[in-house]
Chain A
């Protein structure tokens, strides 16, 4: 019986290893055919920013990898509205289709999960 897994991403990409590690675990979890969703709040919203070019800081560009996730049957991307707006970002700035939720809606969705993985 599939469980509901939610990855909660709260860190900006590249300044720490959290975003990349989360993505690796997401890809691994996909192999177990669970019901996986990804939530982005606080600086985690920056993980989805279009147009990343980390060549200059000699890091792997993992932005495009989020767009492969639908092939892994992962297509639920939730973004908290308050976090997104505080950063001057809109859904058009993001590299995948997202569902924008209020803080309260996201909190309720978190309550409904079987497993939460925090990054």
Chain B
């Protein structure tokens, strides 16, 4: 399953929920959720935790929009819209943690 997260970790406890519930697959951070994967952000440790369980991807255009493209933490992969489409196609199903 592909887990898509789109809200800021400061706004919603979605990362905690995914950490608790997700059984595998991959996670993709988009929109305001991308801030979680940046250096110095106190939520980054949750992304590191998640990356131990499954590959974690971050949408590049959303990082760039927020001026954060140069501060992505290690252990996650930045993808473009094409990568987003591939991830959706590769997984049997998809949960958007709105």
Contacts and interface: CB of A to CB of B under 8 A. Distances in A.
Do A and B come together as binding partners? yes
Interface of A: 11-16, 42-43, 46, 49-57, 59, 63, 86-89
B8 A12 contact: yes
Interface string B9-23: 011000000000000
Contact of A12 (B60, B61, B66, B69): B66
16 contacts: A12-B66, A14-B62, A15-B6, A15-B8, A15-B31, A15-B32, A15-B33, A43-B10, A49-B68, A53-B67, A54-B66, A57-B61, A59-B65, A86-B42, A87-B40, A89-B40
Contacts, number: 74
B3 interface: no
Given A15-B32, A43-B35, A46-B35, A56 B64 contact: yes
A49 B7 CA distance: 18
Interface of B: 6-8, 10-11, 31-33, 35, 38-42, 44, 60-62, 64-71
A12 B64 contact: no
B62 to A, nearest CB: 6
